[in-house]
């Protein structure tokens, strides 16, 4: 099926012609040329004129006039009786142009595009979640340390977390303990000095994103109601906490043990 109007209009615009230019060359009034391009054949004087005007206009634009007139006849129910009106002068084609054919519609195209769009949205969402989790745990936590007895002449176990030294090198300073509420959760935490019966340093909820810091001079004892709701850092290094309700002791030398 040939789109008669679009074919005429596209050929005219490709050649940089206005309707007034075509009217001057074909001697067909601009309103009739517009009717052909809009496929308003009912605005033409009669059927025979429609065929004649279409043939002349198509020839002038360098199109296959026979194919366009044949398409018009098929739409209007066959070749009419009577002769076509003759133009008063010969029209020479400006450029021979092949007629475009209507592309067949592919079923399911929009459905496939919609599925692809949702797939892209899903992938982007997964990437954003992965980046968010990675930002929350950008350093792999070290495991909970358990101290072992040492004999004279042996060094401290490698598993123990070393304490920070003072800037002057005269001795060791207590490592700093930080508690940070995990994104979206938070946890109830109790912090005591040295042991489970020591002085209460803090008791409350560390909400998501909040931070509490404590010095470990003399050691501290911690109890976590929900270990997944809080992150534990010793001297800036993350420490893994056992699941469920958990108790932890952090000595002044940085060694972390179950409490």
Structure confidence by residue, pLDDT tens digits, 189-220: 899 988 988 899 899 888 888 888 988 788 89
The model's confidence at residue 225, banded by pLDDT at 50, 70 and 90, is confident
Give the pLDDT confidence score for residue 165 in this predicted structure.
41
Tokens read off for 7:
């074919």
Supply the pTM of this predicted model.
Answer: 0.35
Give the pLDDT confidence score for residue 214 in this predicted structure.
87
Domain boundaries, the chain: 4-75, 176-258
Count Cβ atoms below 10 Å from residue 185 Cβ, excluding itself: 13
Q: Which of 211, 147, 133, 136 is nearest to 178 (CA)?
A: 211
Determine the average pLDDT of the residues in 147-175. 44
Q: What angle do CA 228, 234, 235 make, to 5 degrees?
A: 145
The answer to whether the CB of 212 falls within 8 A of the CB of 220 is no
The answer to whether the CB of 52 falls within 8 A of the CB of 17 is no
Q: Residue 44 pLDDT more than 70?
A: yes
Tokens read off for 37:
């391009």
Residue that the structure tokens 């598993």 belong to: 159
Give the pLDDT confidence score for residue 131 in this predicted structure.
74
Calculate the average pLDDT of the chain: 76
Give the pLDDT confidence score for residue 30 in this predicted structure.
93
Give the pLDDT confidence score for residue 155 in this predicted structure.
34
The highest-level CATH class for domain 4-75 is mainly alpha
Tokens read off for 3:
């789109």
Tokens read off for 14:
């490709």
Tokens read off for 27:
């001697």
Give the pLDDT confidence score for residue 140 in this predicted structure.
46
Q: Residue 179 pLDDT more than 50?
A: yes
If one compares 128 and 12, the residue with the highest pLDDT of the two is 12
Q: Residue 41 pLDDT more than 70?
A: yes
Q: Which of 53, 6, 3 is nearest to 32 (CA)?
A: 53
For 65-107, the pLDDT digits (tens) are 999 999 988 988 766 655 555 554 566 666 555 555 545 445 5
If one compares 55 and 179, the residue with the highest pLDDT of the two is 55
What's the rounded Cα separation, in Å, for the pair 224 and 5?
78
């Amino acid at each position: 099926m040939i789109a008669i109007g679009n074919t005429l209009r596209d050929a005219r615009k490709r050649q940089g012609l206005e309707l007034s230019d075509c009217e001057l060359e074909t001697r067909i009034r601009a309103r009739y040329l517009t009717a052909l391009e809009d496929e308003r054949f009912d605005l033409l004087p009669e059927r025979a004129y429609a065929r004649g005007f279409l043939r002349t206009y198509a020839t002038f634009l360098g199109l296959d006039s026979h194919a366009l007139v044949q398409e018009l006849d098929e739409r209007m129910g066959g070749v009419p009786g009577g002769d076509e009106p003759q133009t008063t002068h010969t029209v020479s084609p400006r450029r021979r142009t092949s007629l475009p054919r209507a592309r067949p519609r592919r079923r399911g195209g929009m459905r496939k595009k919609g599925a692809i769009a949702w797939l892209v949205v899903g992938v982007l969402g997964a990437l954003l979640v992965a980046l968010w989790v990675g930002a929350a745990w950008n350093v792999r936590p070290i495991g909970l340390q358990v101290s072992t007895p040492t004999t004279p002449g042996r060094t401290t176990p490698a598993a123990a977390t070393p304490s920070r030294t003072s800037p002057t090198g005269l001795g060791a300073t207590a490592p700093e303990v930080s508690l940070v509420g995990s994104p979206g959760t938070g946890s109830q935490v109790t912090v005591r000095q040295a042991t489970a019966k020591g002085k209460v340093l803090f008791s409350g909820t560390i909400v998501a994103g909040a931070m509490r810091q404590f010095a470990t001079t003399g050691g501290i004892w911690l109890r976590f109601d929900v270990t997944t709701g809080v992150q534990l850092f010793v001297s800036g290094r993350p420490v893994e906490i056992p699941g469920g309700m958990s108790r932890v002791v952090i000595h002044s030398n940085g060694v972390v043990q179950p409490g």
